[in-house]
A and B are shown apart, each in its own frame.
Chain A
Amino acid sequence: EPEVTQTPSHQVTQMGQEVILRCVPISNHLYFYWYRQILGQKVEFLVSFYNNEISEKSEIFDDQFSVERPDGSNFTLKIRSTKLEDSAMYFCASSLLDSDGYTFGSGTRLTVV
Protein backbone atom coordinates (compact mmCIF):
# COMPACT_ATOMS: atom_id res chain seq x y z
CA GLU A 1 0.00 0.00 0.00
CA PRO A 2 1.38 3.43 -0.90
CA GLU A 3 2.61 5.46 2.01
CA VAL A 4 3.89 8.89 2.92
CA THR A 5 7.49 8.81 4.07
CA GLN A 6 8.98 11.31 6.48
CA THR A 7 12.61 11.83 7.42
CA PRO A 8 14.16 12.05 9.90
CA SER A 9 12.01 10.32 12.47
CA HIS A 10 13.56 12.40 15.23
CA GLN A 11 15.54 15.62 15.05
CA VAL A 12 17.16 17.52 17.87
CA THR A 13 18.24 21.08 17.18
CA GLN A 14 19.45 24.08 19.11
CA MET A 15 17.23 27.08 19.49
CA GLY A 16 17.79 29.55 16.67
CA GLN A 17 18.93 26.94 14.19
CA GLU A 18 17.22 26.21 10.91
CA VAL A 19 15.64 22.81 10.36
CA ILE A 20 14.23 21.15 7.28
CA LEU A 21 11.74 18.35 7.65
CA ARG A 22 11.35 16.14 4.63
CA CYS A 23 8.41 14.26 3.24
CA VAL A 24 7.81 12.10 0.21
CA PRO A 25 4.07 12.12 -0.51
CA ILE A 26 2.25 9.42 -2.44
CA SER A 27 3.27 9.81 -6.04
CA ASN A 28 -0.09 10.50 -7.69
CA HIS A 29 -1.42 12.75 -4.94
CA LEU A 30 -2.01 16.39 -5.70
CA TYR A 31 -2.52 18.00 -2.29
CA PHE A 32 0.10 18.17 0.40
CA TYR A 33 -0.13 19.21 4.02
CA TRP A 34 1.84 19.76 7.17
CA TYR A 35 0.31 19.33 10.60
CA ARG A 36 1.88 19.41 14.01
CA GLN A 37 1.07 17.92 17.40
CA ILE A 38 2.59 19.42 20.50
CA LEU A 39 2.96 16.76 23.18
CA GLY A 40 -0.36 16.10 24.85
CA GLN A 41 -2.29 18.39 22.56
CA LYS A 42 -4.38 17.93 19.48
CA VAL A 43 -3.18 17.78 15.91
CA GLU A 44 -3.12 21.24 14.34
CA PHE A 45 -3.15 22.28 10.72
CA LEU A 46 -0.17 24.27 9.50
CA VAL A 47 -0.33 24.56 5.74
CA SER A 48 -1.72 23.04 2.57
CA PHE A 49 -0.01 23.07 -0.81
CA TYR A 50 -1.42 22.54 -4.26
CA ASN A 51 -0.20 23.25 -7.75
CA ASN A 52 3.16 24.43 -6.46
CA GLU A 53 1.82 27.05 -4.13
CA ILE A 54 0.37 27.42 -0.67
CA SER A 55 -3.40 27.13 -0.81
CA GLU A 56 -4.09 27.74 2.85
CA LYS A 57 -2.16 28.33 6.05
CA SER A 58 -2.99 28.67 9.71
CA GLU A 59 -2.00 31.35 12.19
CA ILE A 60 0.78 29.07 13.40
CA PHE A 61 2.44 29.19 9.99
CA ASP A 62 4.20 32.51 10.37
CA ASP A 63 7.21 33.96 8.55
CA GLN A 64 9.52 31.48 10.26
CA PHE A 65 7.92 28.65 8.31
CA SER A 66 8.15 27.86 4.62
CA VAL A 67 7.32 24.92 2.40
CA GLU A 68 8.75 23.76 -0.85
CA ARG A 69 8.35 21.02 -3.38
CA PRO A 70 11.80 21.22 -4.88
CA ASP A 71 11.88 18.29 -7.25
CA GLY A 72 8.41 16.93 -7.87
CA SER A 73 8.68 14.20 -5.26
CA ASN A 74 9.84 15.77 -2.00
CA PHE A 75 7.78 18.17 0.08
CA THR A 76 9.72 20.03 2.75
CA LEU A 77 8.91 22.16 5.77
CA LYS A 78 11.57 24.63 6.83
CA ILE A 79 11.66 26.41 10.14
CA ARG A 80 14.09 29.27 9.79
CA SER A 81 14.98 29.99 13.40
CA THR A 82 13.61 27.41 15.77
CA LYS A 83 12.10 28.27 19.12
CA LEU A 84 11.56 26.04 22.12
CA GLU A 85 7.83 26.07 21.46
CA ASP A 86 8.40 24.57 18.01
CA SER A 87 9.11 21.24 19.72
CA ALA A 88 6.40 18.93 18.45
CA MET A 89 5.61 16.01 16.22
CA TYR A 90 5.28 17.20 12.65
CA PHE A 91 3.12 15.19 10.29
CA CYS A 92 3.12 15.36 6.54
CA ALA A 93 0.04 14.24 4.64
CA SER A 94 -1.10 13.99 1.07
CA SER A 95 -4.36 13.41 -0.72
CA LEU A 96 -5.58 12.92 -4.23
CA LEU A 97 -8.56 15.20 -3.77
CA ASP A 98 -8.77 18.20 -1.47
CA SER A 99 -11.47 16.76 0.80
CA ASP A 100 -10.44 13.15 0.59
CA GLY A 101 -9.11 11.06 3.45
CA TYR A 102 -5.56 12.15 3.82
CA THR A 103 -2.67 9.72 4.12
CA PHE A 104 -0.35 10.73 6.91
CA GLY A 105 3.29 9.96 7.39
CA SER A 106 4.59 8.58 10.66
CA GLY A 107 5.89 11.97 11.68
CA THR A 108 9.11 13.71 12.63
CA ARG A 109 9.60 14.45 16.29
CA LEU A 110 11.37 17.80 16.54
CA THR A 111 13.02 18.66 19.82
CA VAL A 112 14.39 22.18 20.22
CA VAL A 113 16.86 22.59 23.06
Chain B
Amino acid sequence: AQSVTQPDIHITVSEGASLELRCNYSYGATPYLFWYVQSPGQGLQLLLKYFSGDTLVQGIKGFEAEFKRSQSSFNLRKPSVHWSDAAEYFCALVPGANNLFFGTGTRLTVIP
Protein backbone atom coordinates (compact mmCIF):
# COMPACT_ATOMS: atom_id res chain seq x y z
CA ALA B 1 0.00 0.00 0.00
CA GLN B 2 1.12 3.55 -0.64
CA SER B 3 1.94 6.12 2.00
CA VAL B 4 3.09 9.71 2.14
CA THR B 5 4.95 10.99 5.18
CA GLN B 6 5.53 14.60 6.02
CA PRO B 7 7.66 14.38 9.16
CA ASP B 8 7.34 18.03 10.16
CA ILE B 9 3.91 19.04 11.43
CA HIS B 10 4.89 22.68 11.90
CA ILE B 11 7.86 24.71 10.72
CA THR B 12 8.70 28.30 11.56
CA VAL B 13 11.14 30.30 9.46
CA SER B 14 12.14 33.93 9.27
CA GLU B 15 11.18 35.94 6.25
CA GLY B 16 14.01 35.82 3.72
CA ALA B 17 15.37 32.55 5.03
CA SER B 18 15.51 29.40 2.94
CA LEU B 19 12.92 26.67 3.33
CA GLU B 20 12.84 22.93 2.88
CA LEU B 21 9.73 20.86 3.54
CA ARG B 22 10.23 17.13 3.69
CA CYS B 23 8.16 14.48 1.99
CA ASN B 24 8.82 10.77 1.89
CA TYR B 25 6.72 8.26 0.07
CA SER B 26 6.29 4.55 -0.05
CA TYR B 27 5.14 2.94 -3.24
CA GLY B 28 6.20 -0.05 -5.33
CA ALA B 29 7.00 1.97 -8.42
CA THR B 30 7.68 5.61 -9.24
CA PRO B 31 4.50 7.50 -8.50
CA TYR B 32 3.35 10.83 -9.80
CA LEU B 33 4.18 13.34 -7.07
CA PHE B 34 2.65 16.68 -6.24
CA TRP B 35 2.94 19.56 -3.81
CA TYR B 36 -0.14 21.57 -2.94
CA VAL B 37 -0.50 24.67 -0.79
CA GLN B 38 -3.57 25.60 1.24
CA SER B 39 -3.88 29.12 2.56
CA PRO B 40 -6.27 29.65 5.49
CA GLY B 41 -9.86 29.27 4.37
CA GLN B 42 -8.79 28.56 0.82
CA GLY B 43 -8.72 25.56 -1.46
CA LEU B 44 -5.73 23.55 -2.54
CA GLN B 45 -3.44 25.12 -5.10
CA LEU B 46 -1.00 23.05 -7.12
CA LEU B 47 2.58 24.23 -6.67
CA LEU B 48 4.36 21.67 -8.83
CA LYS B 49 4.29 18.08 -9.99
CA TYR B 50 6.71 15.35 -11.01
CA PHE B 51 5.85 12.68 -13.52
CA SER B 52 9.18 11.68 -15.05
CA GLY B 53 12.35 13.13 -16.54
CA ASP B 54 14.31 15.87 -14.85
CA THR B 55 14.26 15.19 -11.13
CA LEU B 56 14.39 18.88 -10.22
CA VAL B 57 10.99 20.40 -10.82
CA GLN B 58 10.21 24.09 -10.88
CA GLY B 59 6.85 25.33 -9.70
CA ILE B 60 4.93 28.49 -9.10
CA LYS B 61 5.78 31.16 -6.53
CA GLY B 62 9.49 30.37 -6.68
CA PHE B 63 9.18 26.84 -5.30
CA GLU B 64 11.07 23.81 -6.54
CA ALA B 65 11.19 20.17 -5.54
CA GLU B 66 13.67 17.41 -6.11
CA PHE B 67 12.72 13.79 -6.63
CA LYS B 68 15.25 11.40 -5.14
CA ARG B 69 14.42 7.81 -5.94
CA SER B 70 17.13 6.39 -3.66
CA GLN B 71 15.65 8.21 -0.68
CA SER B 72 11.99 7.95 -1.73
CA SER B 73 11.77 11.66 -1.16
CA PHE B 74 10.27 14.67 -2.89
CA ASN B 75 11.29 17.65 -0.76
CA LEU B 76 10.00 21.13 -1.46
CA ARG B 77 12.39 24.07 -1.36
CA LYS B 78 12.38 27.80 -1.66
CA PRO B 79 15.53 29.94 -1.40
CA SER B 80 13.89 32.95 0.23
CA VAL B 81 10.56 32.77 2.02
CA HIS B 82 8.02 35.59 1.89
CA TRP B 83 5.44 36.32 4.57
CA SER B 84 2.72 35.37 2.07
CA ASP B 85 4.10 31.82 1.95
CA ALA B 86 2.61 31.09 5.37
CA ALA B 87 0.16 28.26 4.72
CA GLU B 88 -0.31 24.52 4.96
CA TYR B 89 1.68 22.45 2.49
CA PHE B 90 0.65 19.00 1.35
CA CYS B 91 2.67 16.44 -0.50
CA ALA B 92 0.62 13.96 -2.50
CA LEU B 93 1.04 11.10 -4.88
CA VAL B 94 -1.02 9.35 -7.50
CA PRO B 95 -0.17 5.70 -7.08
CA GLY B 96 -1.55 4.58 -10.38
CA ALA B 97 -5.21 4.71 -9.62
CA ASN B 98 -6.82 7.98 -10.49
CA ASN B 99 -6.90 9.65 -7.13
CA LEU B 100 -4.55 11.71 -5.00
CA PHE B 101 -3.17 10.33 -1.77
CA PHE B 102 -2.17 13.13 0.57
CA GLY B 103 0.29 13.45 3.38
CA THR B 104 -0.78 14.96 6.68
CA GLY B 105 0.60 18.37 5.80
CA THR B 106 3.18 20.78 7.17
CA ARG B 107 2.08 24.12 8.52
CA LEU B 108 4.51 26.91 7.71
CA THR B 109 4.73 30.01 9.87
CA VAL B 110 6.81 32.93 8.64
CA ILE B 111 8.08 35.43 11.19
CA PRO B 112 9.21 38.93 10.28
| A-to-B contact residues, CB < 8 Å | 4, 6, 31, 33, 35, 41-45, 48, 50, 55-56, 58, 91, 93, 98-99, 101-107
Contact = CB atoms under 8 A, between A and B. Distances in A.
B99 A48 contact: yes
A98 B100 contact: no
Q: How large is the interface on B (under 10, 10 to 19, 20 to 34, 35 or more residues)?
A: 20 to 34
Which of A41, A48, A105, A106 is the most central at the interface, judged by chain B CB atoms within 10 Å of its CB? A106
Interface string B20-47: 0000000000001010100001111110
A103 B98 contact: no
User: What's the dominant secondary structure at chain A's contact region?
Assistant: strand
B98 A104 contact: no
B98 A48 contact: yes
Given A56-B98, A99-B98, A104 B32 contact: no
A102 B103 contact: no
A41 B103 CA distance: 10
Nearest to A103: B46
